[in-house]
Structure 1
Amino acid sequence: MVRVLGHLSGIKKLTIDYDRAKILVTGAPYNYLEDLKLGFDFTDRSEMSVALCLIGSSPNLWRLEIKAYTRASPVEPVLEFLKDQGHLNFSFNKLEFVKMVCRGAVRSEVEFIKFVLANSPALKEMTILLNNSDEAQVALQKELLQFQGASAQAKIIFLKPYLVW
């Protein structure tokens, strides 16, 4: 798979699920990639790095679906990594639609959502499927609805995963 992806820069649609993201070759631009479905562990700094590199190497990406997986790993290294990315020049200029399944609404998932919102000026809709308690959902919804993203027209929709996925 490593050798193959390095030569598929013309790919338009890509789906990679949990534990497969680690073996990707990133860095080469995927100029034709428009639709990406990606599952990765939000408590694993290397998986987060690969995911951001793949997304950032896809300048024509307009639809992104993320399935968040979480292990019982410490989240602090991932949070620090995400904060460091805020200082870089990330911009997902053509990203219009994002769908994300949050497994536990761990802090790294919330910060990733904020990171995408802050760097997606063309975003029209972000659908977040929450898989946690009602109290945690209300807190997450309040926090994200108060967050000022890069797109003034973006709608944030919150759903229960069992209703859609």
Structure 2
Amino acid sequence: MSAQDVVVGLIAEALVDFVKRVCECEKLREAHARDLKLAEVADEITRAVAEGREGEYGPVVVKVQRKFLGRREVKAYLYGNEVDVNTLLAELSKARSRAAWLLNDCSENALIETLYKYEDRYLIEVVQRNFDKFKVMCAGKAPEIEFGEAPAHIIEGVVRGIKNYLSAYGSSH
């Protein structure tokens, strides 16, 4: 086995590890889609509840009933189900936490950091340039990669990594 073969194998292994992580994150995004949607409007919902303002905020509807002597009762509906305000605020807090964790651990930068240990700037450049294209591999499809000025060992390693991933993992998705 030549040195070129060893390097190509390492690049292929790096790419498979990277794509596994990308696909894990895609599954997590799907699993926590409700939390992500809720976290997007959490601040607006919190203000509406505090100010006693009615409205529809994504998956939440806030209704206000005026009571005797200017008092008010705030009712909230989360995904169509009535919940008390404290439950709603707790759900918003959980959604914010999950969303922050997911957006941090699955950010483009965090995913590309998995490649730093391989210390190959060409590989990192290819992945950065084609980041969204690699996501199609999660559905068992081969991406169309733009290699730019990448050296032959990177191109060969990425192509081998794509084949390895799709043959090993593509059939299970």
Give TM class, smaller chain: under 0.3
Higher helix share: 2
Higher relative contact order (CA 8 A, sep 6+): 2
Higher strand share: 1
| TM-score where L is the length of structure 1 | 0.25
| TM-score where L is the length of structure 2 | 0.24
